[in-house]
Amino acid sequence: MDRGAAVLGTERGVRSVGPPTFDLHQVEEALLINHRLFNGRPMTRAEVEMAVEQYRGFLRDHKATGMPEKFSVPSRVIDRVWHTHMCETKQYAQDCHEYFGQMFHHASILCDGGAKPGDW
């Protein structure tokens, strides 16, 4: 069994799936630049690689739990990788359809007016 597979028990609606294998090289290169724009310092290559692996784990876990409509992004760095991936719109759409069989949309309670103080 793949060590990275999410296995939490089918009795809870979770199935074993492998992490996505699509190429995120462009995302990694963009993160080396855009993280500095948003956070004032660049990410090291090691930080980028770790962030991308965490993002792959987030995608794997989301797929393993049946792609629930409501979910939380586990960290800011994963959200930053996700946003960077979405900037390459054609590639992101292709990757989503290849891995999930559908688009994985980003809907934020901060953007739809559903946020309350303390949610951010």
Please tell me the distance from the alpha carbon of residue 21 to that of residue 76, in angstroms, as a whole number. 22
pLDDT for residue 9: 37
Q: What is this structure's pTM?
A: 0.76
Please tell me the distance from the alpha carbon of residue 72 to that of residue 106, in angstroms, as a whole number. 11
According to DSSP, residue 10 is labeled G
Please tell me the distance from the alpha carbon of residue 58 to that of residue 27, in angstroms, as a whole number. 16
pLDDT for residue 40: 74
Across the chain, which has 120 residues, the per-10-residue mean pLDDT values are: 36 70 91 76 90 96 92 91 94 96 82 55
